[in-house]
Amino acid sequence: MVMSAGGSTTAGAELVTVDMTGRVAVLTMTSAPANALSFELIAALDDAVTSALADRASVLMFTSGLEKFFAAGADLKLLGQASAADFHRYLVTLRSFIERVNQLPQPSIAVIDGMALGGGLELALACTFRIATPRAKLGLPEIKLGLLPGAGGTQRLPRLVGRAVAVDLLVTGRSVDGHEALNIGLVDRLEQPDELAAEATHFAQTLATGAKEAVTAIMRCVDASADLPFAEGMDVEAAQVEQLFATPDAAEGIEAFLEKRDPSFD
């Protein structure tokens, strides 16, 4: 990673830029023409996440500097010449990075204005939130190649939108626009293109200035609700809230409430 003008950093020969605004890291993919998830772009994204965490980012935003794409899937020119061993190595690399995003204790936001297809959508699915525009196109078209999405698409999509909708999207390979994505729960918020950056940044800043340990704990509890039986999930919730009660943020939040002022979290 090297510093560039304006306090941002660049990764992988400027395939990804990282701009810090307060405690929000904006990771912008700039790998023309479509942000295809090549080995190089994956490595640049991984370096960018490492850089953001080193700068103590509280929220990570994934976005694109290209006009028509958030991120396409795999580099098909590369895969067209790949052996089974090459494909396995690529899949392990992609899955490892996307799982890293999914396991981040900090909230992450995919900001989508354009096409998020295949691995690009799998990256977005691994984020905590997805914000899109009406003209966005989201889909997992691997069925059209005789394949299936292998970086979490078959697992995260049904957890997000339900089995019936997920199977429909997976077996047809069709894409949905931003309006349909919002209706089925694939994205969390819909913004107009000229308002997307500002609204996404405002949302990220709201998260970044909140009680960070509580945000992380809430994410752990919600994930437990999907992965554990109810009673075990309740145990996770109890443990997390008791730990939070002993934190400086909780003390500040309670004191601020009693003093009728806004809290100032660390």
pLDDT at 137 over 60: yes
Dump pLDDT digits (tens) for 167-179. Answer: 999 999 999 999 9
> Are residues 199 and 87 part of one domain?
yes
Q: Reduced to 3 states, what is the DSSP secondary structure of residue 28?
A: strand
Give me the long-range contacts of 199-203 (CB less than 8 A, separation at least 24): 199/131, 200/61, 200/63, 200/109, 200/111, 200/131, 201/21, 201/24, 201/26, 201/61, 203/109, 203/129, 203/131
Dump pLDDT digits (tens) for 15-43. Answer: 999 999 999 999 999 999 999 999 999 99
List, by residue number, the catalytic residues: 122, 142
Q: Considering the chain, what is the average pLDDT of its residues?
A: 92
pLDDT at 5 over 50: no
Could you list the residue range(s) of the whole structural domain that residue 236 is in? Answer: 212-258
pLDDT score at 13:
52
> Are residues 129 and 226 part of one domain?
no
Q: How far is residue 97 CA from its own chain's centroid?
A: 11
Residue 265 lies in a domain: no
Dump pLDDT digits (tens) for 146-157. Answer: 999 999 999 999
Residue 266 lies in a domain: no
CATH number for position 61: 3.90.226.10
> Are residues 196 and 160 part of one domain?
yes
- Separation in Å, CA 249 to CA 128, 220, 266: 22, 18, 7
Here the tokens at position 201 are 């940044």
> Are residues 74 and 56 part of one domain?
yes
> Are residues 79 and 184 part of one domain?
yes
Query: How many separate domains does the chain show?
Result: 2
Degrees, nearest 5: CA angle 32-34-40: 65
> Are residues 81 and 167 part of one domain?
yes
Residue 187 exposure: Cα atoms within 13 Å on the Cβ side: 28
Q: How is residue 35 annotated by DSSP?
A: -
pTM reported for the whole predicted model: 0.90
Higher model confidence: residue 74 or residue 126?
A: 126
> Are residues 32 and 51 part of one domain?
yes
**pLDDT-based confidence at residue 7 (cuts at 50, 70, 90):** very low
Residue 264 lies in a domain: no
> Are residues 237 and 150 part of one domain?
no
pLDDT at 51 over 60: yes
Distance in angstroms (rounded) separating the CA atoms of residues 39 and 50: 17
Residue 248 lies in a domain: yes
Average pLDDT over residues 81-108: 94
Contact predicate 66/30, CB 8 Å: yes
> Are residues 246 and 148 part of one domain?
no
